[in-house]
Each structure stands twice: as structure tokens, then as C-alpha cells.
Structure 1
Amino acid sequence: MKKIKEEMKRAQQQQSSNAKRLAAMDKEARRRDNLIRQLENKDRQREQFMKRTNEEINRLRKAQKEQARQARSAASSRMTPMRTAQSRMARTPANRGQPSPEVAFSPKQAKMKWTFIEKRLNRLVTQKQTVGKMEEELGRQLEERTRLVDEITTLERRFVQVQDVQEREAVADQIDGCHLKLNYVQDQITEIQTAIVDVDGSKVRARSLLGFLMFRGLGFFALG
């Protein structure tokens, strides 16, 4: 009789422990679902930001091309009469020995500005390549997150179905391990998303600066 009571007591304790474990797992599942929804919202916000950024870049490029076209047209109209006047002055003997008129275009200055712009362009290319690699890594991490969520769901179902105590504990350990991996993967996803947004923001600022320099000093150059 005493042995039966002990067995019943152990069974009740085990049942209570399992109930607590199930309640904790339900709570964790709800927390995970909320986290996934938050992450999906962040992904949508990032996609919207990327879309707005690309639209802004395209708008800047169109404006730069139009500014470059206007600058070339204005420079051509200014240079034609200037060359004619310089040619006439060169043929006039009275002008010999006098200082030559100021030249509007400086090849040295243009070369310096173009070198600066070329460095900026190279930096933009490097940033674009970096963003591409980060987006590939982000895709891998998102796939890993989905895989872990599916694995946790499968293990939780298995935990509910299993009756053996030791097997339940083994499944619970697997679930805990998957949660640790999931937290790490989510940290990686957040870091990559932040880095992509930072790089994209610096690309927009760099393109704006290039457009300003091209319009002010090198209107005849344009981004392709």
C-alpha cells in the first residue's frame, strides 16, 4: 500500500512538473510568435526604406543628368565666343606683350575634382558590393531562423506526445538548445539589417555630394 502511495505521489509530481513545463512552453511559443510578427514588421519597414532609398537615388541621378546636360550646353555657348575673341586677340599685333585673358576652364582643377569624384565612385561601388554580400548573409540567416522555428514547433509537439520521462527531458534539452540558437540568429539578423541601413544612408549622402560637385565644377561629367 505504501509503495502504491509513493508511486501515485511520484506520478502526481511528474504530472505537475509536466503541466508546468507545458505552460512554460505555451508562454514561450506565444512570445516567439510575437517576436516573429515584430521581425516581419521590421522586414517590411526595411523593404519600404530600401524602396524609398532607391527612388531617391534614381531621382538624384535623373537630376544630375539634366544638370550635366544644361551645364554642357551653357559651357558650349560660353566657350564659342571666348575662343573667337582669343583667336582675334592672338592675331592683333597691339596685344603682344599683354597678359592673356583669364581662362574659364582649368584642366588641373578639373583633374583634381574628377580624381575626387572617381574615389567617391569607387567607394560607392565598394559599398554596393558590401551591401550585396550582407543581403546574401541576411537571406541565409532568415532561412536559418525559419528552420529553427519549424524545428522548435516539431520538438514541442513531440514533447507533448512522449510519455517516457527521460525522453521528455532529452526533448526539452533540444528545445532549449534551439531557442539559444534562435536568439543568436536573431541578433545576427538585427546587426546585418542595421548595417545595411547605415551603408544605404551613406550611399545616398555620397551621391548627393557627387551631384553637387558635378553641377558646380564638372557639369560635363555625369553618372551613368
Structure 2
Amino acid sequence: MSAGNGVDPARAVRAAYEAASAVVAGLGDEESWLPTGCTGWAVRDLVFHCVTDAQRALVALHTPAREPVDRDAVTYWQDWRPDTVGAANGRRWVRVNASMFLDWGQLQGLFLETLRAATHAAGTADPAGAVLTQGHVLTARDLLTTLAVEATVHHLDMTVRLPHAPGPAPEGLAAVRATLDGLLGRPALPDWTDEHYARVGTGRAPLTETERAALGPAAERFPLFG
């Protein structure tokens, strides 16, 4: 079950990465210490995490897999649950490694150049080719959709204390909505914006009692991933 939103995955990644780059390129050292929507992470911690995700994309897109595909753009996220030991360890690992960049400009530059490289790789990948990442095999097309989703969700995380920063790309938000709909097995509540759906669907914001009543039994499945 792929997240079919009508947007070319390579274009969605490009748009999502360019939007995130526009945010990071405009930040100074003081702003890099502001909190984000990710528990325990400042902006610079989240920037480092996004660098590692773009590096993972570069490795995956150059690692053809011979094994059969076992995940798609929706089922990939079934492994990612909040409040696990692995999630807590990952938060600590990122904070420690991000702290090694004493100069914000170095981390900022690494982010921008790595996302440019990943964008180029996404544009030249064979969409039907199978690639390996995170212990699973996906088509490159589905991998690119997951990258656009993660970049867009973290864009929202990064800008919670940056009210004047550019917003996420519409193509990325469309990929997030399609993915969440796929995990939920039905469309979201009709009055939810893309941004709100992204936050409640990934556990960044709780459902209200009104929303729980409108969702019915489906409310118990939130967050859909985190």
C-alpha cells in the first residue's frame, strides 16, 4: 500500500529539502539553540539528525538490493513508534554528536551541502529499483516518499519557535497526509489542516476530546507513527 498522492517522489524530496534548507540557511547561532517540537532537541540537534537522514538517503540510493521488497512508503513507518527504548537512545546519540559542532556555521554548511547531494541523487535514481535502508528493502520511489515525509515533519518541528521561518513545501505536506491516511486506513477529519494532521498523526500534539469523538474507534490508533 503506497502513499499515492499524485506527486512525483523525487519532486517531493526536492521541494521538502529546499524548504528545509531555506529555514536553516537563514538561522544564526542564537536561533540554533531554540527548542524544537522534538523532545530534548534544540534546533541544532534536529539539524544534525536531518543531516544523518540525508546521508542515509545517499547510502540507500547507491545500495541496490537483491532481496525482495518488504516495505512500501506507508508500511515503512510501522516500525517507528514513540516512547520506546530505541527512541530514547536515539535522542541521546543525536544530542551528543550534535554537541561536537562548536561552530554553528560548520553544521549549517554540512546540512546544506548534504541535502543538495541527496536531492541530486533522488533525481537520478531509478524509481523502480530496490534499495536497502534501516534493515528493509523498498523501491527507490517509496524510499523517496519516506524522505519527503520525514523532512516535512521535522520542518514543522524545527520551526515551532521560529514564527517567521518559511513553511514546509506543499508537496511534502501532501506526502505526509497520504502516508497518514494509509496508516489510518481512511482519510483524516475534513477540517484538519495538513500541518495539524501531521502533528497529531505523529504524536506532536494530542487529540482533543471532540476529535476523539469524531474519529471513533480509530482514535485509539493515534499516534500513527512518531
Q: TM range, normalised to the smaller chain?
A: under 0.3
What's the TM-score, normalizing by structure 1? Answer: 0.27
Q: 1 or 2, which has the higher helix percentage?
A: 1
Q: Relative contact order, CA 8 A, sep 6+: which one is greater?
A: 1
TM-score (norm: length of structure 2): 0.27
